[in-house]
């Protein structure tokens, strides 16, 4: 127990973490390019927020939340997703009072008590964007374009964007009626959850992962067949904007987000090669969510992308660039006085922004040189009694295998120049 992490969690070790930092760096740049600002909300929230914001009828709320009572007797939940929390923060901090739309992004861990398998964890990480305050179909297209641009900047050019419209509360009675008529003859074959959903929210049946329900849902009527004129116009405009931006997409009529506050556009991005859990991201418009969370009627749209699955898809395609993580400079010393002088020099190098390290294990000079090669240092400084007497160090270029002497007082400057690629 003490040396085992909880099921469904992962340690991101040095070697792996650099891949995360690389992906996070690209994400931050894309978000900036599209005018999004970062928001950081708590890892835990009041349980009620997710019940309202994610929806009572969802798998997340029904069976996947990490909920507990804190010492003050409050019901707290580790966030299973972050849209509800961002909506809460938008309302609590009155971001609606500033210029609209408000475009936000986040990145961080989410928690769902699901059955772990490849690409599915109990603690996983998402990037997400949310836009509040605009109905404009160009915003729907922008969010999808941003997501696809991000993947493509990582080299993931072969992912599939599936798009659908789930309509609005005006279209829902028609969808509801059509679905109830369709499922009525097979009501007994539905799973117990879906039997309940049949009356309460038949659209949710289309989201069910149970094999029998999924099979029955295959030929079910779709939301796009029941769109009201406004929703139909909005959806056509979204598609036109996507075409204008040159973003390829597939219409997928079976894509649903079966809750009332999800409206209009729904989308999902698939990487077919990463296994059963092939969805690398998804999102949609939620014009009813801000109101459901206690605000006024403010439209919104967002997307959430799974970081683990992005990295998996990149690894499968050999897209992770070589990332240098070790020190640029290793300082090898021989003898007590050179070690002390080396320690001072190390501090100077670091203060000048040169990533450097030295030996603390009492290794021989030869072993230190071996170690420097192993950690892929670009340069090694060799400092022995002889060098100290002459007021210099030996500087070894580890790539070229060449060595030269440099005056002690010039070492930092010389290395800075060499590492910045501007030797003179």
Q: Which residues are annotated as a binding site for L-histidine?
A: 81-83, 112, 126, 130, 257, 261-262
Which C-beta is closer to ligand AMP: that of 301 or that of 383? 301
Which C-beta is closer to ligand AMP: that of 120 or that of 176? 120
- Residue labelled with tokens 């009155």: 94
Listed residue (289, 174, 288) closest to 222, CA to CA:
174
CB of 301 to ligand AMP, least distance (A): 13
Residues 6+ apart with CB under 8 A from 387: 338, 393, 394, 405
In DSSP terms, which residues pair with 117 in a beta bridge?
120
Which C-beta is closer to ligand AMP: that of 126 or that of 356? 126
SS3 284: strand
Which C-beta is closer to ligand AMP: that of 202 or that of 306? 306
Which C-beta is closer to ligand AMP: that of 55 or that of 327? 55
Q: Which residues bind ligand AMP (CB under 6 A)?
A: 81, 112, 114, 119-121, 124, 126, 279-282, 304-306, 308-309
CB of 8 to ligand AMP, least distance (A): 8
Strands (E), 123-180: 123-132, 160-165
CB of 16 to ligand AMP, least distance (A): 15
Q: Classify residue 218 by burial, with Cβ atoms within 10 Å: 0-12, 13-18, 19+.
A: exposed
Cβ(8)–Cβ(111) under 8 Å?
A: no
CB of 64 to ligand AMP, least distance (A): 8
SS3 61: helix
Alpha carbons 103 and 249: distance in angstroms, whole number: 23
CB of 243 to ligand AMP, least distance (A): 24
Alpha carbons 34 and 19: distance in angstroms, whole number: 23
Listed residue (175, 309, 141) closest to 253, CA to CA:
175
Annotated binding site: 81-83, 112, 126, 130, 257, 261-262
Alpha carbons 41 and 60: distance in angstroms, whole number: 19
SS3 329: strand
Which C-beta is closer to ligand AMP: that of 257 or that of 396? 257
Kindly report whether the peptide bond that precedes residue 81 is cis, defined as omega within 30 degrees of 0.
Answer: no
Q: Which residue's C-beta sits nearest to ligand AMP?
A: 306
Which H or E run contains 162?
strand 160-165
CB of 127 to ligand AMP, least distance (A): 9
CB of 309 to ligand AMP, least distance (A): 4
Length in residues, the chain: 424
Which C-beta is closer to ligand AMP: that of 64 or that of 230? 64
Listed residue (254, 272, 259) closest to 57, CA to CA:
259
């Amino acid at each position: 127990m003490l040396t085992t992490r909880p099921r469904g969690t992962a340690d991101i070790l040095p070697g792996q973490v650099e891949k995360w930092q690389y992906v996070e760096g690209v994400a931050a740049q894309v978000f900036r390019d599209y005018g999004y600002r970062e928001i950081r909300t708590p890892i835990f929230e009041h349980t009620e927020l997710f019940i309202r914001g994610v929806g009572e009828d969802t798998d997340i709320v029904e069976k996947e939340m990490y909920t507990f009572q804190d010492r003050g007797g409050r019901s707290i939940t580790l966030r299973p997703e972050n849209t509800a929390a961002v909506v809460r923060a938008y309302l609590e901090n009155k971001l609606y009072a500033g210029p609209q739309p408000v475009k936000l992004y986040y990145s961080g861990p989410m928690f769902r008590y699901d059955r772990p398998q490849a690409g599915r964890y109990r603690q996983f990480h998402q990037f997400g964007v949310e836009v509040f305050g605009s109905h404009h179909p160009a915003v729907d297209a922008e969010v999808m374009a941003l997501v696809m641009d991000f993947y493509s900047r990582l080299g993931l050019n072969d992912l599939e964007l599936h798009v659908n419209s789930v309509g609005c509360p005006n279209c829902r009675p028609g969808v509801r009626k059509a679905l109830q008529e369709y499922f009525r003859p097979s009501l007994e074959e539905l799973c117990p959850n879906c039997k309940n959903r049949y009356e309460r929210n038949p659209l949710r049946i289309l989201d069910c992962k149970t094999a029998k329900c999924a099979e029955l849902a295959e030929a079910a009527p779709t939301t796009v067949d029941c769109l009201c004129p406004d929703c139909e116009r909005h959806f056509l405009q979204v598609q036109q904007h996507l075409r204008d931006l040159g973003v390829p997409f597939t219409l997928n009529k079976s894509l649903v987000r079966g809750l009332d506050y999800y409206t209009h556009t729904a989308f999902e991005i698939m990487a077919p090669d990463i296994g059963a859990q092939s969805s690398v991201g998804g999102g949609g418009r939620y014009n009813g969510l801000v109101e459901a969370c206690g605000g006024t009627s403010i439209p919104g749209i967002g997307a959430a992308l799974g970081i683990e699955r992005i990295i998996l898809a990149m690894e499968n395609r050999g897209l992770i660039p070589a990332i240098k993580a070790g020190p640029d400079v290793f300082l090898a010393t021989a003898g007590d006085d050179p070690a002390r002088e080396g320690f001072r020099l190390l501090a100077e190098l670091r203060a000048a922004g040169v990533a450097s390290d030295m030996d603390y294990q009492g290794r021989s000079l030869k072993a230190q040189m071996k170690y420097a090669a192993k950690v892929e240092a670009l340069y090694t400084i060799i400092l022995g009694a002889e060098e100290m007497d002459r007021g210099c160090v030996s500087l070894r270029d580890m790539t070229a295998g060449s060595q030269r002497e440099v005056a002690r007082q010039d070492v930092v400057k010389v290395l800075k120049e060499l590492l910045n690629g501007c030797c003179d």
